[in-house]
Amino acid sequence: MQDTFVTVGTFTHETEAYLFRSRLEHEGIECFIADNNITTVHPFLSNAVGGIKVNIRSSDHEKAKVIISEIEEQSNKHQSKKIKVGSTIYNAIEGYCPNCDSEAIYVKNYDLIKLIISVIAAACLLPPPFKKDVICRDCLHKWKKY
Ligand SMILES: [Zn+2]
């Protein structure tokens, strides 16, 4: 059977393409990078040729889809350490939403005054003087906790 090839990723920068290729090759999928030479010589042509392509044998496509979805999931987790609700920034914390059991819960940063009072309280071995505002990304339920 003759192999055909499918493009599983296109990148603007050669480094991204090589990182992606090395991840797939680590999983035993042979990759072929295309259009990297033209974009190395003329980087502004990257968009014109449709970016640097990472191609694989079509027989490896199903396996690659699983790995690619893992890569996307990891990068989504990485990106969601912080979320912005209105003008307020929330940081990811460990725990579960009491409303929907989601693990995607975030705590609001203290403002400066509350932060200073909390630091002083902690230095005096007092319990935290303020409850933190927590929000669930999935159901937007809000609650307070220490
Ligand atoms: Zn929730």
Q: Secondary structure of 109-144 in the HEC alphabet?
A: CCCHHHHHHHHHHHHCCCCCCCCEEEEECCCCCEEE
pLDDT, mean of residues 107-114 = 82
d(CA 65, CA 102): 26
On the question of pLDDT at 104 being above 90, the answer is no
Distance, CA of 84 to chain centre: 15
- pTM reported for the whole predicted model: 0.52
**Distance between Cα 137 and ligand 1 center (Å):** 7
% residues pLDDT > 70 (the chain): 95
**Distance between Cα 113 and ligand 1 center (Å):** 29
Domain boundaries, the chain: 5-79, 82-145
**Distance between Cα 140 and ligand 1 center (Å):** 6
**Distance between Cα 104 and ligand 1 center (Å):** 8
pLDDT value at residue 77: 65
Q: pLDDT band at 76, cuts 50/70/90?
A: low
- Lowest-confidence range among 18-22, 80-84, 114-118? 80-84
**Distance between Cα 98 and ligand 1 center (Å):** 7
**Distance between Cα 100 and ligand 1 center (Å):** 4
Kind of pairing between the strands at 105-108 and 132-136: antiparallel
**Distance between Cα 89 and ligand 1 center (Å):** 18
pLDDT, mean of residues 56-76 = 87
d(CA 123, CA 121): 5
